[in-house]
Amino acid sequence: EVQLQASGGGLVQAGASLRLSCSASGITFDDYHIGWFRRAPGKDREGVALISSNDGSTRYADSVKGRFTISNDNAKNTVYLQMNSLKPEDTAVYYCAVTRFVELVWSGLIDYDHWGQGTQVTVSS
């Protein structure tokens, strides 16, 4: 059974930083590309970042470019999302997810293969 667990969320003030972590069981991240998406009340789901297991290339939503960084530690089977200069509009539940198809998922043509429970990030102004 595939399980993904996101952690590290919290309540912070605008301008602060948080680092989210995603750990997995039932899979190894070497076999998948890993991404983060978020859901905010009243808004559509938004893909935030994705990292390719093939070459480590990354993709970011325009709304987070220059502020968020996705990275992975395959030895620990963990993926991170470093979030700097947080804004109130970053408030959402953040989910980590895995896919075998980077471009199809990033373009929205297909969904991720698996995702887990999210972690709440709340940014106050």
Give the pLDDT of residue 70. Answer: 97
pLDDT of 54 above 90: no
Report d(CA 108, CA 125) in Å as an integer.
31
Q: How many residues does the chain have?
A: 125
Report d(CA 104, CA 10) in Å as an integer.
31
Report d(CA 6, CA 95) in Å as an integer.
6
Give the pLDDT of residue 75. Answer: 85
Give the pLDDT of residue 77. Answer: 87
Q: How confident is the model at residue 28 (pLDDT cuts 50, 70, 90)?
A: confident
Burial group, residue 122, by CB count within 10 angstroms (0-12, 13-18, 19+): middle
DSSP structure class, residue 55: T
